[in-house]
Structure 1
């Protein structure tokens, strides 16, 4: 029998063993396989590189060596941890479906099930690998006939009690839900993390057309509700919040103080709000005493602005102010009255649009919210470890004098209790940024 015929006959048997992880289970069997590997390597040396025989011997040798690979002897628990790490570092860590991008499900988990029967069995038996699901519904186009049953099977693989991480984007205007979303909503009691995006906030009623008392979210710790037109929100009821989930992280486009009594979680640690309307920020910090991270784009007074209270918030570690660069959306003057933050260690500030010289020169007048924020930091006597100023300076170099941009940064950091190595402008060290600004102004 010729060399190529011999290896062609070996290949199907080795392929089956590889797919079923049929590794040699005794020292004698392993020695025999090592001898076959040595013979295959020797035969490969006699073949012309790139020839049909060379390719056939190479394929057999690859399967033989694979059967002795250490990864094939890993305990199930270790292999599952590797799978988890692969998914977490993937751009699509979960199961994804988009009516705009594809006609089928996607996700790195499926690739893991295609390697061999052993990996497939391990992946299918690990419920947590199937617990992250993303559905983006952009159009009127219904999912293909294969998507819904396949997603049903994937949900079943997540078991009956494993917490689910859900991402739903409902960007259509119809009042009906496709089955792929309905299946996720039916398991809302298992949600531990949920990111919901709508064209308009009232669409949340399409997902949950029920009274708050009719369902519960006992596991939900992380909730994000976004809308592309959040200015239309007003005080749209949120059936999820009204069921009082045990939230630790909350992200909303719009929040009114009159609605905060609905959020009963005293354990809330992270709050991200586009626009907060209320009496003062001191009141907001009083309502959520355990906050460690606060992101706020803008603040608008609502109610009796004179009825402020003094709040010493001893949990806040990180404060991120600004982000919406519109002049209309900013933290109104007087918002910081009565606030002290003694444990603050990180501060991020984004300036609004400063269109002309007047805006830049007025940015640090005594009655501006930015000056008030600096006063909060000073009177709090906190030890800041990192301060970052976002000012989009490059966009204004042709509109204002470079020296004015430098002065703006100087005034911002003046008096702040932060060391030089912890001072940044647009995520670049202050010293390096200033050197770059001076160099560009000289050119």
Structure 2
């Protein structure tokens, strides 16, 4: 039986329903979270005649049997011999017979619950080897878009995490989930100064989850601090714990309301051994303009990044990302003379996404021309004033152009805006023609304002852009529509 089939069987037989009996992750202390809802306790001492004064002997017997089977299910106490399994099958046959002959709805309901537990104890998934069960749990988490374990400040009294319900299924599943460090190595902390700080109980619980990630498993860390105020002490303690494990970071998403907050979170000296595994980094902040004196402490450590996303990058700071490992780069705003230096220090870059460009002068006479190995480019159509000076892209095969918001289709386009966008598209086309590349796929996207129509000036602009473009005809698209079909629709 394949993994996908086993995952489906998990959902049918084992995974908790809406009325799941939940068990806390923590072994001590009263911790408030999604994982500490106390289980509903049903035992033989509670099943007395005072509680069920009207029960028939058959119903009382099934109540007691339900209590016994429920305890076995939670402890994964399955029949471990052929004789025990045959005995359970005989009990299932008797339960089915009682269900068919019983006419009382309340008793039938109780018999059905018992039957479900009996059949569950014989489910093949309960006998799987530990490594196979771990693979199934991993598949279930992926199917449900598992985003790790974390704290969101608008839910200050609880944590979120898709792994928690899987620890409530039974003690066997619980032990497997708790002992597999990779399930606890994805941590998210989102704090907004407008919301309450986490309680002591939540801090203790998140601390336990971080410790369960072990000492060697690579980690994914997402940190978001919004607001201008410095974070409270408890949030700083969270950050300190995560930064202390920087040598295990493989992927990191760091988002700040102010870049100055990083001074308190990363108080260490730059060292190439600080982030030895970090391959994927997103560094985002709300500030549009940067003080040139502010440095990025993570980039200063020169991690072996393969993907990097930055809100802003200055040409004077490109040395900190100089690497032959870097394959994907996304930059909100690039400040410099041209892209030549950036592409020169990242010679193996394959994908570049550039949203805006701020020119700070003309290229030097001694500017070294850059013949980039770039394969894919995504760019806004309003980037003008020289980003392509001294740049050629001979290997480029994929191009996506996102046009800016140019107003409402029923309103005339401002002449200055039209001229800027047209100049940007012309400049981009010229560098493509100069590079001698042949584009296999070109896709041009408009603003969402044009979903029900295009300004005439923009239609003409798009048509002109594709004229003499060094691209294969069958690879030209506008909003994912083949170019010829788009022309037939808008040039009638």
TM-score range, shorter chain: 0.7 to 0.9
Single out whichever of 223-232 and 22-31 deviates more from structure 2: 22-31
Give the superposed CA RMSD. 2.6
Give the whole-Å Cα distance in 1 for the aligned partners of 2:465 and 2:401: 10
Judged with a 3 Å threshold, the aligned counterparts in structure 2 of structure 1 residues 286 and 112 are, in CA distance, closer, same or farther, namely: same
Distance 2:424 2:297 in 1: 34
5+ residue gaps, structure 2, are: 1-55, 408-412
CA contact (8 A) 2:156 2:197 kept: no
Correspondence 1:28-427 to 2 at 5 A = 28-48=83-103, 51-139=105-193, 141-176=196-231, 177=233, 178=235, 179-213=237-271, 216-302=274-360, 304-307=362-365, 308-314=367-373, 316-322=374-380, 330-355=382-407, 356=413, 358=415, 362=419, 365=422, 368-392=423-447, 394-395=449-450, 402-419=455-472, 421-427=474-480
- State how far apart, in whole Å, the 2-side matches of 1:250 and 1:166 are: 15
| Cross-structure match for 2:20 | none
When the two structures are superposed, what TM-score results if normalisation uses the length of structure 1? 0.88
Matches of 2:109 and 2:490 in 1, distance apart? 59
Whole-angstrom CA distance in 2 between matches of 1:141 and 1:9 = 46
| Larger relative contact order (Cα-Cα within 8 Å, sequence gap ≥ 6) | 2
- 1:58-96 residue CA offsets vs partner (Å, 9 max, x unmatched): 111111111122222222222222222332343452002
| SS of structure 2 residue aligned to 1:387 | strand
Distance in 2 between residues matched to 1:363 and 1:424, nearest whole Å: 23
Distance verdict in 2 for CA 1:150–1:270, change over 3 Å = same
On the 8 A contact 2:405/2:449 being kept in 1, the answer is no
| Structure 1, unaligned runs of 5 or more | 324-329
TM-score by length of 2: 0.80
Which residue in the other structure is 1:24 paired with?
79
Cα drift, residue 246 of structure 1:
1.2
301-310 or 156-165, larger mean C-alpha shift? 301-310
Report the CA distance shift for 1:214/1:340 in structure 2 as closer, same or farther (over 3 A): closer
Q: Distance in 2 between matches of 1:397 and 1:364?
A: 21
Which deviates the most, 10-19 or 31-40? 31-40
Distance in 2, matches of 1:86 and 1:427, equals 33
26-35 vs 275-284, which deviates more? 26-35
Quick check: 372-381 or 253-262, which moved more? 372-381
- State the Cα deviation string for residues 300-353 of structure 1 (Å, max 9, x = none): 233542443322222x22211128xxxxxx523222123222332321111223
